[in-house]
Structures are given as structure tokens and as C-alpha cells.
Amino acid sequence: MKTKKLFLGVGLLLSGAIFGFLISAKLDLFSTAQSQGVKEDRIVFPSSSLSFEGFRMEDAVINVANTTGKAVVSISAEVTKKIGGGVRRFYFRTPEGQFPFGENDPFRRFFDDFFGEIPQREYKQMGLGSGVIIDPEGIILTNQHVVNQADKITVILPDGRQFRGEIKGEDPRSDVAIIKINARNLPVATLGDSDNLKIGQWVVAIGNPYGFAMQNPEPTVTAGVISALHRTLGKSLARDKDYNDLIQTDTAINPGNSGGPLVNFKGEIVGINVAIFSTTGGYQGIGFAIPINNAKRILSRLIEGKKILHGWLGVSVQDLTDDLVGYFGLADKNGVLVVGVLKNSPAEQGGIKDSDVIKQFDNKAITNVRELLSIVAKTDVGRKVKVVVVRDKKQMSLDLVIGERPQGEDLEEQGIAESKTITWRGLAVDDLKSENAQQFNIKEKEGVLVLSVEPNSPADEAGIIPGDLILEINRQKIRNVSDYKKIISALKGDALIKAGRGFFIIKENSGK
């Protein structure tokens, strides 16, 4: 009996232990399952998942800073300018006012002998920027505008050493320059391939914003993404630079960053920081860089100190619109419309005419103006190329020889006048008077000037603005208001307007 009770007690103890174990295990399993359920509902990224090129994102930026950053330098460019000078002007006062002494007045000669001419004064203007070492023997790549007209160039390495810099080669149009310092065994950066860039790709900008004001030679590193590719800055911003194929980035770029590299996470240079778009002068999330492949194309010539030649056609062109496609009977908007052809230019000598639509250049299809400007600029001067155009709805092939682009060659935009004349389809125009031509820097001798455009009129919808110079209507030359009146009096249907800025379609509207 005692033995049975003993076995019963042991059995109860074992049963309780097993039951307790099962309860504990069940609770643990429930807890585990519940935790897994939270993870499934909330996607959790481990820190190692945010990686690029084998690094965590943070480590990738650190790696770029510790490698490519060692090759980024500060550049100070000193430019000496002269102001003042010339002959002093002396005046005498009368009740009627103040008048200068005449050239032969004895008092004038007395004061000239006594005081002499006003001496010229010199002042020094400092330009600050960045650069990147691309050769261990002291070859540095930067922007041309950073060192333009510099009398003295000072380069400071990240380790604090200072060197005098010498311009070896520069190309104002590409805004690229090479400077040389007397140093060896320097850290260098690797040139990458900008043709493989993608929108959204992470990049790092390295440079020296605000230059020597930081009192520290080590460069600044900022990270961001490529916001857009093939951006173009307008003529008013670009001036004489070829800013038709830029990288746009939201990486912080500030004054002094110009000339510094834009780098991918491999540490390769993919661009040269060149400009910011800002209403305040500071960073606002829109920066631009020159694609490194554009610089690589001319680097060897710059290092050798040779002149950089850019191909040139001598035409003014514009992109096609839906209205222009319909007017010219084209199949699509691919191609560019020729607005003007300069005299004695390669285009004129090759047979290109106003209103031609360029569809192909050197066996390459042309989609828009940016593509044409880019391919022409890269074409060797003196090379014979084939250009396919559409003229009067017929396709033809022309052979022409690429010329060298002259300095500052361009077709000018026009200004505004201040008188009134007849109104047609919302346009008020007047003759091109000599005072208007001089005031608004108009080079053409013929045409009618747009004084005003009625809001919501056919002219307004076409994109005509005050200050445009109308040169042709439906391919008929407009020399003055008399020609203008004669043509519009018999005009029916849509009208093709050739202005100084390009072609426009003003649609017929009996209500205007």
C-alpha cells in the first residue's frame, strides 16, 4: 500500500513537471509567434541592408571621404584689376550752373600742369574654388572660371601644404582648366564614366565651400542623389559657357565648391561641380556638375597646353512643337528647326536654309536641340559630315564641312519699343527704328518690333512676347510695317511667324 502511494506521488510530481514545462513552452512559442507577426506587419531593415558597393551607406560615404577626399584641394585665384586714371576735369561755377573749362582755357592748362593726370589704382580680387588631383605629379582638374585671368594661384592640399599653381591649359567654353603644382607622389582620384549615371543614384560632392573662411584645409563632404541628367542652363546663366549637358544633383553645393569633384560610391569622379541655382546665393537643393566624360575628351590637349577647338555649324535652331509639326507636315517631333543661318558659315556653304528641319547629323538621329549642339561641338573641325534635312516636306541629304566655333558667335534676342501701331491677332507692332535698335541692341536692319501682346489672344497662346522682332510671315520677308500690313490683310488660316527667337504658329481666330 505504501509502495502504491509512493508511485502515485512520484507520478503526480512528474505529471506536474511535464504540465508546467508544456505551459511554459506554449507561452514562449506564443510570444515568439507574436513577435514574428509584428515583424511581418512592420518590415524591418537590418542596418546591413542599406548597402552599396559592398559597404553600408554610411561606410560608403566615409570611404569616399577617406580616399577621394585626400585628392581634393583648395584653390585661391588672385586677379589684379586697375581702375580710375585719365585726365582730371575742372569746373567753374556761374549763376547759370557748373561748366567745365575748355580744352584751350589757360586755367585748364594751369590746373593740368599743377595736379597732373589721375593715376590708375590697382586692387586685388580673390576668387575661391576647389580642384581635384588627377596625376601624382601635381596635375589638378578644376573649372576655368575659378582660375580665369588669375595673376597668382595658390593651392592648399588637405594636409595644409601650400603651392603656387600654374595654368597649363584652359577651355572657357567647356569651363574646364588644368593647373600644375610642383609636387610629387600626391594622392589622386580616379576618373569614372558619366555615361552610365542614373537618376536617383547616390553621389558625394567634395570641395571647399566658402574657401579659406573655414580656416581648415580639409575638404567638406556632402551626399545626395542625382536629380536629373542632361540639364541645360539658359543663355543668361551660361553666358559664353557650354552648359547644355549638365548633371543636376541635390547634393549640397555652395560657393567655393566649384571645380571640386562629384563622386560615386566607388570613389570615382563622375562630374565637376560647376554651379548652383539659388535665389539667396546659398544652397537650395539644386546644383549642377559637368559630366566627367565631357572633360576627359579634352584633358590630354589641356595638359599639353593646346587650344581646344569646338565644332560649329553657324545656325540658330529650336525644338519642334506640335503646331510646327502639323504646319510642316512632319511625322513626329524628332529633329530641330533651323531659325537662322549665318552668312559664310559652314551651314550656308553646305546648303542649309531657314525652315529646314535637321533630322540626322553624321548618321546619328537628332531628337532635340541639346543633342545637336552636343554632337556638333564634339565633331572635329574640318571634318566632312552628312546632314539629313526635311525641306518642303521632302527629305534631302547635304554634305558640309564642320568649322571652328568663333568666340561669342550667337544670334541675339531682341528688346522692346515704346510706340503703337495696328493690332492683328493680339499683336501690336511698329517699325524697327534706329533708336530702338540701339537701345535694345538689335543687329537686324529690317523687321517689325512687337510692342505688346493681348492676353489670351492667338499671339499670346503661340508664345510671342513683347520685344520679339518679326522677320517673316508664312516665309514672306517682313522689312517694315508696310510689308506687314500687306501680308496680314490677305492672310487666312494659321500663320507661321519667324521671329528673332524662332518660329511660332499663330492660329486663326475670328474673334481676335
Instruction: Measure Cα distances from 392 to 218, 241, 268, 330, 409 in Å.
Output: 62, 35, 49, 10, 29
- Residue 310 carries which DSSP code? -
Q: Tell me the pairing of strands 51-52 and 502-506.
A: unpaired
- Give residue 165's identity as a one-letter amino acid code: G
Q: One of 175, 356, 430, 483 is an active-site residue; which one?
A: 175
Are the C-beta atoms of residues 178 and 140 closer than 8 Å to each other? yes
Q: Tell me whether residue 145 is one of the annotated catalytic residues.
A: yes
Q: Tell me whether residue 175 is one of the annotated catalytic residues.
A: yes
- Record the cell numbers describing residue 345, joined without a space: 558659315
Q: One of 74, 145, 171, 174 is an active-site residue; which one?
A: 145
d(CA 359, CA 255) in angstroms, rounded, equals 40
d(CA 374, CA 365) in angstroms, rounded, equals 13
d(CA 335, CA 365) in angstroms, rounded, equals 8
Are the C-beta atoms of residues 361 and 334 closer than 8 Å to each other? no
H or E element in which residue 8 lies: helix 2-41
d(CA 49, CA 252) in angstroms, rounded, equals 25
Q: Tell me whether residue 48 is one of the annotated catalytic residues.
A: no
Q: One of 174, 258, 316, 355 is an active-site residue; which one?
A: 258
Q: Tell me the pairing of strands 268-276 and 190-191.
A: parallel
Q: Is 456 left (phi over 0), alpha (psi -120 to 50) or beta?
A: left
Instruction: Measure Cα distances from 314 to 98, 345, 422, 503 in Å.
Output: 52, 5, 35, 17
Specify which residues 250 forms β-bridges with.
none
Per-residue burial over 372-402, b if 16 or more Cβ lie within 10 Å, else e, is bbeebbebeeeeebebbbbbeeeeeebebeb
Are the C-beta atoms of residues 413 and 236 closer than 8 Å to each other? no
d(CA 207, CA 230) in angstroms, rounded, equals 23
Catalytic site residues?
A: 145, 175, 258
